[in-house]
Amino acid sequence: MVRAAVLPAVGAPLEITGITLPDPGPGQVRVRLAAAGVCHSDLSLSDGTMRVPVPAVLGHEGAGTVLAVGEGVPHVAPGDGVVLNWAPSCGACHHCGLGEVWLCADALTGVGRVHAVSADGRDLHPGLNVAAFAEETVVPAACVLPAPEGVSLTDAALLGCAVLTGYGAVHHAARVRAGESVVVFGVGGVGLATLQAARTAGAGTVVAVDVSPEKEGLARAAGATEYVVASDTTAKEVRRLTGGQGADVAIECVGRAVTIRTAWESTRRGGRTTVVGIGGKDQQVTFNALEIFHWGRTLAGCVYGNSDPARDLPVLAGHIRAGALDLGALVTDRIGLADIPAAFDAMRAGRGGRSLVVF
């Protein structure tokens, strides 16, 4: 039996309890977690913004060591360090055929399977496939990728979501070019990774926007050249900081209608806005037809940074070894399983960067 953070029902408090995992079957891998990041998506699952079968073991950003493998697993062996991939691509659906593996139609089919059994006999589901809020997990082999050499497993946990998402938002979705101005809305874990990625892209002016004045130091350490505390005049202030034109690129990491709209208004004529944040169905963003024509701006969604983890992890490892990405700088709190509810509260209040559960 291992300890895990279980969501018993949508909107219910997390339970830190014992669970029993099965031995890995064919095509499965058992992993001892080194660390797991607390992502806003976990909060979205907890409060019902995103829906998965419950009760469930949450957590989708993690890394650890392989304990055992089932039959037919050729790419990892016991003792290997691995990064968990919560959205494995099937390689066979329409989107995979187009090379859009981040949109794989079957990526989340595994959330309906029975993952473990709770101490009181309840069948538990694996949240977003990998159930990383636990001392150990059993996952499909497609959900593990070899951890990059030279990166500690504790730091490597962040590669499973925040860093892939932030890096991909800059390099794949927004396609930031050297010298372009970038504004990033939301200085949480993904926002900090996005700021670092903007630096690797050679961006010029990089503006960070957040509701909290206390995050300015974090933002500047991650690569922001300017910092704006969010207000009714945010778009005007971003334009002032970018030569009166507005930013070439805005990346929204919050998932609120007002922030998306402000991000769009903060870009220049012909600018590009990429939405990374996951909002609820009640968050309606409106535009009038004339302004869409006049401004010539684009607004695009972004799933998992439009990343292919198998392709992008080696690239990220190179940036880390070169000192261009600092994973440790994304972490503001190192916590235990029992501290995850407090980390959720901090996210609701807009405090801190990434909380990292260290086992």
How many helices (H) does the chain have, and how many strands (E)? 11, 18
What are the pLDDT digits (tens) for 83-104? 999 999 999 999 999 999 999 9
Give the pLDDT confidence score for residue 299 in this predicted structure. Answer: 98
- Work out the end-to-end distance of the chain between its first and last CA atoms, rounded to an integer number of angstroms: 15
Which pLDDT does position 353 carry in this prediction?
84
Q: Rounded mean pLDDT of 258-262? A: 98
Does the pLDDT at position 127 exceed 90? yes
Residue type, 342: A
Confidence band for 252, pLDDT divided at 50, 70 and 90: very high
Asked if residue 352 has pLDDT above 90, the reply is no
Rounded to the nearest integer, the mean pLDDT of the chain is 96
Distance CA 203, CA 163 (A): 17
Pairwise CA distance, residues 224 & 209, whole Å: 10
Count CB-CB contacts under 10 A for residue 319: 17
Q: Please give the pLDDT value at position 51.
A: 87
User: pTM for the complete prediction?
Assistant: 0.95
Question: For 294-312, what is each residue's pLDDT tens digit?
Answer: 999 999 999 999 999 999 9
| Share of residues in the chain with pLDDT > 70 (%) | 100
Residue corresponding to tokens 């993690």: 62
Task: Compute the average pLDDT of residues 200-220.
Answer: 97
Q: Three-class SS of residue 10?
A: coil
Q: Is residue 15 scored above 90 in pLDDT?
A: yes
- For the chain, give the percent of residues with pLDDT over 90: 93
pLDDT classification of 48: cutoffs 50, 70, 90: confident
What's the pLDDT at 121? 94
- Residue found under tokens 């630096």: 199
pLDDT at res. 349: 84
Give the DSSP H/E element, type plus range, for residue 289: helix 289-295
Rounded average pLDDT over 2-16: 95
**Are the C-beta atoms of residues 84 and 63 closer than 8 Å to each other?**
yes
| Domains, the chain | 2-160+326-358 (3.90.180.10), 166-303 (3.40.50.720)
pLDDT for the residue numbered 29 = 98
CA distance 253 to 264: 13
The whole-number pLDDT of residue 49 equals 87
